[in-house]
Structure 1
């Protein structure tokens, strides 16, 4: 059928860009790599300040409160807390700009 009511993928089935319900193995690999890169930056800044004999309260706070990538559970690496979801967890890949954020701390018990 031609014209404004022709059959097309968006018209027949809805949204074309569907987000899969779980992260793929390459997505998980890249997420772990991003978490490790943040850990390396924190370590490098800490070493540089230590060589100069200085300290930074924010870095000390990060060390105390934020876990490193190898210390995190897989549940925390790949999901985040969401009070609107059924089991209060949402896949990290479903968040806006999830590749630019370091989301490591979730509420306890979820």
Structure 2
């Protein structure tokens, strides 16, 4: 077809974004570095004497060194097979605090 509604290469081919199946070693290292940076910020703010509800909740979260690899690199997803989903498949995973899972998962 011609005009405004002609099909594009993207519409014909299908896949627009290519997500790798597994997380690369570099991405895993960046996740660990990000978690450690958040731990340092939480420790610094709590050492300064600030008290608030958000800080109390952050203190309850496990530190990066205490987390299992399963919890560092994957999240609970009730729609996925096995109820786990790789972290890099989560939208905006670099900006979310995902450190806990439901009990048993």
TM-score (norm 2): 0.82
Give me the CA root mean square deviation.
2.2
In the alignment, structure 1 residue 81 sits paired with structure 2 residue 76: yes
Bigger Cα Rg: 1
Q: Paired residue for 2:104?
A: 109
Q: Paired residue for 1:27?
A: 27
Q: Paired residue for 1:11?
A: 12
Q: Paired residue for 2:44?
A: 44
Q: How many residues align?
A: 101
From the superposition, tell whether residues 5 and 34 of structure 1 become closer, same or farther in structure 2 (CA, over 3 Å): closer
Aligned residue among 93, 100, 104 for 2:95: 100
Unmatched 5+ stretches in structure 2: none
Aligned residue among 47, 58, 63 for 1:62: 58
1:63-87 residue CA offsets vs partner (Å, 9 max, x unmatched): 2x31000000000000000000010
Segments ≥4 residues shifted beyond 6 Å: 3-6
Q: Distance in 2 between matches of 1:61 and 1:102?
A: 11
From the superposition, tell whether residues 42 and 5 of structure 1 become closer, same or farther in structure 2 (CA, over 3 Å): closer
Q: Structure with the greater relative contact order (CA < 8 A, sep ≥ 6): 1 or 2? A: 1
